[in-house]
Structure 1
Amino acid sequence: MPVARTAPIAAFTVLVVLLAVLAGTAGLSPGGWVAGLACGLVVCGALAHALHRSGTRTLGPANSVTLSRAMLVGAVAALTVAPQDGTAPVAPLATIAGVALALDWVDGQVARRTGSSSALGARFDMEIDSLLVLLLAAYVARSSGGWVLAIGLMRYAFLAASWALPWMRAELPPRQWRKVVAATQGIVLLVAACGVLPATLTTVLLAASLTVLVESFGRDTRWLWRHRAAVRSVQARPAWARSAQARPGAVGSTQVRPGWAESGGARPAEARPAAAERPTIRVEPLTAADPLASRPLATATATAEHR
């Protein structure tokens, strides 16, 4: 059986063992078991389905790290549900969440060093990041207020909006500030979960984190709105025109040519129109001024750099 098919099964088995260890040490309520197992089943099932659809036969080193991190997130989900005595265990939750956040940096480095980056891996990494931030936000919301949940729900609100508004599905240009904001959310929530800072300072940090997150998403939404016309024009073009490789006149394009041209022969006389009948055709190469070159095409995925 291919490794890509057995990896989710093995990962789920590891999660069950991890939950058993946590149940014997930190203590897990029945709800904690349900939350952890459900998280593992959904993640492993979605990954197996995605691997099957993409035809991937090997998981790859970077995706293996992300899958390990996903099982840690399953343990965080179990710990987020209060155990039998009603008190959520801070130490194991903070430790496991801290390792999961650190592995977020590791899988990116592994992907770049091994050349195993892929669209599937990027989406898998993004979903695990988003789930971890949501769980941490739910945990911190108990002590700091329900408004903290907005930090974890922001990305899902953006995704839901993209389902209803096609112009929000366009690919966003790279932006370093977006990466900084995304990395900050998990760190701030982890610090708040540990309870090492005074309550007032924790509230200020959480509010600042939410503020920059709203600003970052707002800037991306504004950019998508300003470029919505380009997305509509691309969606209205025929299929061959949506690909830069099949667009006539595009730099590096593969154009359909008649048989005599493919064979390198001379153009038959009967194929050449008379001088008076020959239209004047001006072919200009695709430049940066062309809206289809300077604006990204519509995609099915929202930004992958927000949590």
Structure 2
Amino acid sequence: MQVLLARRALVDVAVAMAGFLVSGSWILNVAGAEVTYFLAAMGAGLAVLGNAAASVLSRKPLLTTAADRITLIRAVLVSCCAAIVIPALFGGTGPGVPVVVLGAAAFLLDAVDGAVARRFACESPAGGRLDVQTDAALVLVLSCAAVPIVGPWVLAVGLMWYAFVAAGWFRPELKRTLPVKRLRKVIGAYQPCALLLALTPGVPGGITTAAVVLALVALLASFGRDVVELEQGHRKWTGRHSGTELVN
């Protein structure tokens, strides 16, 4: 049985890779991307999808669920967004409607994979990590796409999660599991919404800037609160195990 599950997981990853290679190549060919831009764009897309594939292939035991397959579809959509964004960045122009459409599809499917996981009782930490990584990749790609429209500072929105993960390499306490909070989910869902609004053609600049500024402020507050909570939890744990009383 485990051999069959592992084989299915490998097939799922291979199908996702093939799906991006075909769709990404087609999109770039239709857009008339030059060879240099084509290679850079496909490389960016493969980097996004490769991270998702690595997350699946590193599982022990190796398997995928119905929810994971939907998340892999989301990863393919995000990879296509990344492929579109690269030529636009080199050209100094906005990526246009295709990124908005594909990004919105990837965002909306986030609700689907969660519902499927709950419906079929296939929720798992590995599936959760894959979902979070895909969410973070979507926000980063949309942030890059918004640079010509909003400005370079918008990259702070896309890089925030990666900075938090990197901080965990130096401060292991930040790797502890946080309790689920609705506000964190709302703030997380608002990030792609704000960026998609900024990327939508015809939206006034003042509205897009205000939406993204609010996204950045909310994200800073959310991560700041999480860091404080994790550090306080660490001090309480240390105090209990060392006999030291901590006063908060």
Would the TM-score normalized by the shorter structure come out above 0.5? yes
Aligned to 1:80: 85
Give the secondary-structure state (helix, strand or coil) at the position aligned to 2:29.
helix
State the distance in 2 between where 1:85 and 1:153 align: 22
Matched, 1:39 2:45: yes
Please state how far the C-alpha of 1:7 moved relative to its aligned partner.
1.5
**Count of equivalent residues:** 235
- The correspondence of residues 155-166 of structure 1 with structure 2, limited to 5 A, is 155-166=161-172
Please state how far the C-alpha of 1:180 moved relative to its aligned partner.
0.3
Aligned to 2:15: 10
State the distance in 2 between where 1:233 and 1:8 align: 45
Give the secondary-structure state (helix, strand or coil) at the position aligned to 2:87.
coil
- What amino acid does structure 2 have at the position aligned with 1:5? L
The structure richer in helix per residue is: 2
Work out which of the residue numbers 101, 105, 124 in structure 2 matches 1:99: 105
Indicate how the Cα distance of structure 1 residues 77 and 114 shifts in structure 2: closer, same or farther if over 3 A, else same: same
Matched, 1:169 2:200: no
Aligned to 1:71: 76
Give the secondary-structure state (helix, strand or coil) at the position aligned to 1:197.
coil
- What amino acid does structure 2 have at the position aligned with 1:96? L
Matched, 1:189 2:195: yes
Give the secondary-structure state (helix, strand or coil) at the position aligned to 1:54.
coil
How large is the Cα RMSD of the aligned pairs? 2.3
Q: Is the 8 A contact 1:28 1:78 kept in 2?
A: no
State the distance in 1 between where 2:66 and 2:51 align: 19
* TM-score, normalising length: structure 2: 0.86
Aligned to 1:55: 61
Q: Is the 8 A contact 2:92 2:148 kept in 1?
A: no
State the distance in 2 between where 1:18 and 1:86 align: 24
* TM-score, normalising length: structure 1: 0.70
Work out which of the residue numbers 196, 200, 204 in structure 2 matches 1:198: 204
State the distance in 2 between where 1:87 and 1:46 align: 28
Aligned to 2:246: none
Work out which of the residue numbers 9, 27, 33 in structure 1 matches 2:32: 27
Q: Is the 8 A contact 1:79 1:89 kept in 2?
A: yes
Indicate how the Cα distance of structure 1 residues 52 and 134 shifts in structure 2: closer, same or farther if over 3 A, else same: closer
- Structure 1: tracts of 5 or more residues without a match: 238-307
Please state how far the C-alpha of 1:48 moved relative to its aligned partner.
4.8
Q: Is the 8 A contact 1:8 1:45 kept in 2?
A: no
Indicate how the Cα distance of structure 1 residues 230 and 25 shifts in structure 2: closer, same or farther if over 3 A, else same: same
Please state how far the C-alpha of 1:41 moved relative to its aligned partner.
5.4
State the distance in 1 between where 2:180 and 2:51 align: 30
Please state how far the C-alpha of 1:6 moved relative to its aligned partner.
1.8
Aligned to 1:211: 217
Point out the more displaced range, 28-37 or 132-141.
28-37
Please state how far the C-alpha of 1:85 moved relative to its aligned partner.
6.4
- The correspondence of residues 251-266 of structure 1 with structure 2, limited to 5 A, is none
State the distance in 1 between where 2:93 and 2:157 align: 23
Please state how far the C-alpha of 1:209 moved relative to its aligned partner.
1.1
Q: Which deviations, in whole Å up to 9, do the C-alpha atoms of 1:110-134 show, x marking residues without a partner? A: 1111111111110001101101100
- The correspondence of residues 199-278 of structure 1 with structure 2, limited to 5 A, is 199-232=205-238
% identical equivalent positions: 34
Indicate how the Cα distance of structure 1 residues 139 and 89 shifts in structure 2: closer, same or farther if over 3 A, else same: closer
